[in-house]
Structure 1
Amino acid sequence: MLPSAMIFDVDGTLSETEELHRQAFNEIFAAEKLPWHWDAADYRRLLDVAGGKERIAHFLAAQPEGADRAVGRIAELHAAKTARYSALIAAGAALRPGVERLIREAKAAGVRLAIATTTSLPNVEALLGASLGREAIALFEVIGAGDVVPAKKPAPDIYQYVLERLALPASACVAFEDSTNGVRAARGAGLATIVTQGMYTEGDDFAGALAVLSDLGEPDAPYRHLAGAGAGDRLVTLDALGRWLEAA
């Protein structure tokens, strides 16, 4: 049973982009002479808050210094950070192992593609353009991104938004995620969920995921099976997905 559609998260799932996001935030803080720098440990904690504007607001709420100069500028700071991130991505972006292979396989087989992410649409466009080419956005029939729904992950709203526009039931689709919040959002919408854990989500709670893997796998570098379905396979292929879904 092949899925009718595959729905992808973006940051950490399509590509290991979170370090570029962290760099962009820090460069904007420095440019604005704000007294903050997010190290990797800080950023991992902040990733529990979905959405860049929401992440800044959450951070500011705990700051004893400088917050008064920034609290009314969250949208402005986030827009500047998005522009900086787009410039960093344009300099080069690699998709995670197996992502392009599986996307191409899906398109050839008539499996529909969609995106469900809390990141902004310009960030999605920048990543796809840098990694797959200028026309890559057209590969995805529906893109749910940014503020199209008021409640961000772990709320299921973004997945429900995408499913409504695909006009497909959750049972006919599969989601790809990398984080606890992502799994909760996808499972809350009723979607079978494949996790490819990333550098900032290793060790997260992926309860309810159909499979937890290191990545989607390439012929010369198979994925590492971590939990759930997929122990007998070397790559995530459409045929493998079909078998996993049938057995679930």
Structure 2
Amino acid sequence: MHYKGAIFDMDGLLLDTEKVCQNAFRDACKHLSLPMLEEVYLGIIGCNAAGIKAVLCKGYGDSLDYETLREEWMKRYHRIVYHQAIPVKPGALALLKWLQAQSIPIALATSTDKELSKIKLKFSGLFEYFSCFSNGCEVKCGKPSPEIFLLAASRLNIPANECLAFEDSSNGVRSAISAGMQVHQVPDLVEPDAQVRALGQKVSVSLTEVLAFLKEQHALKK
């Protein structure tokens, strides 16, 4: 395994935010007397704002007042993420520190907007490990399009095929593989199905397991 750069997703991979976001959505649905459609909701994971709207509007139908739902959802979500640290996923800090010690530059490729992603990382103590960012609001097409990962690679000034990508969602995996990257997946709320696993990414149960694998590969190169 040869790589010169590392590109990370954030929510559900580095930070345990997906459950926070899902609970906020569930509370918003209850407030608006809407059903909580779990399968529809899980389809938005890894999407940018435009993708989220498209999935929810299709899943809930033409009668959905999306703007009202989004307002109630984000109001509940932002009460938390703008004011307190989200728990860091096991192994995340150790992996970032190890990559930094190997002089591997690190970028973020997240569907979350730029301001909020930086706030989350600063609260969690992870901000300092990232040399550049690419955000969902900066690309025309969100994940599973490769655009956001290609943007991150260009900002690292490293060819995409020389970057390791780290993702939790299947949309994110498709995005990074389409960009030509080597991909490690650590699933969060949704396990990859057979079709996604066939893409060839390495699937691990935690970032701790990913780090052990990378250390083993690093030792073999010596």
The TM tier, using the shorter chain, reads: 0.7 to 0.9
Note closer, same or farther for the CA distance 1:206–1:11 as it changes in structure 2 (3 Å cut): farther
User: Normalising to structure 1: TM-score of the pair?
Assistant: 0.74
Deviations 1:90-112 (A, max 9, x none): 44422222110011122233210
1:179-194 to 2 correspondences below 5 Å: 179-194=169-184
Q: Which moved more, 1:84-93 or 1:113-122?
A: 84-93
1:179-218 to 2 correspondences below 5 Å: 179-201=169-191, 203=193, 205-217=196-208
Note closer, same or farther for the CA distance 1:109–1:177 as it changes in structure 2 (3 Å cut): same
Deviations 1:4-27 (A, max 9, x none): 211001122112321111122334
Q: Which amino acid aligns with 2:133?
A: I
**Distance in 2 (alpha carbons) for counterparts of 1:5 and 1:26:** 37
Note closer, same or farther for the CA distance 1:80–1:209 as it changes in structure 2 (3 Å cut): farther
CA positional deviation for 1:29: 4.6
SS at match of 2:3: coil
SS at match of 2:117: helix
CA positional deviation for 1:161: 0.8
Identity of matched residues, %: 25
Q: Which amino acid aligns with 2:180?
A: G
**Distance in 2 (alpha carbons) for counterparts of 1:42 and 1:86:** 22
Q: Which residue in 1 is equivalent to 2:216?
A: 240
CA positional deviation for 1:241: 5.0
**Distance in 1 (alpha carbons) for counterparts of 2:5 and 2:72:** 34
Q: Do residues 51 (structure 1) and 48 (structure 2) align?
A: yes
Q: Which amino acid aligns with 2:216?
A: A
1:94-113 to 2 correspondences below 5 Å: 94-113=87-106
SS at match of 2:197: coil
CA positional deviation for 1:150: 0.8
How much is the aligned-residue C-alpha RMSD, in angstroms?
3.0
Q: Do residues 129 (structure 1) and 122 (structure 2) align?
A: yes
1:84-99 to 2 correspondences below 5 Å: 84-89=76-81, 90-99=83-92
Q: Is the Cα–Cα contact under 8 Å of residues 5 and 113 in structure 1 kept in the other structure? A: yes
* Larger fraction in helix: 2
Give the structure, 1 or 2, with the largest relative contact order (CA under 8 Å, sep 6 or more).
Answer: 2
1:2-151 to 2 correspondences below 5 Å: 3-29=3-29, 34-38=32-36, 40-47=38-45, 50-63=47-60, 66-67=63-64, 70-71=65-66, 73=67, 78=70, 81-82=73-74, 84-89=76-81, 90-132=83-125, 136-151=126-141
Q: Which moved more, 1:53-62 or 1:157-166?
A: 53-62
**Distance in 2 (alpha carbons) for counterparts of 1:80 and 1:110:** 43
CA positional deviation for 1:79: 6.3
Could you list the runs of 5+ residues in structure 1 that have no partner in the other structure?
A: 218-222, 224-229
**Distance in 1 (alpha carbons) for counterparts of 2:154 and 2:186:** 25
Deviations 1:183-223 (A, max 9, x none): 11111111000111223235462333341110122xxxxx3
**Distance in 2 (alpha carbons) for counterparts of 1:209 and 1:64:** 35
Note closer, same or farther for the CA distance 1:58–1:44 as it changes in structure 2 (3 Å cut): closer
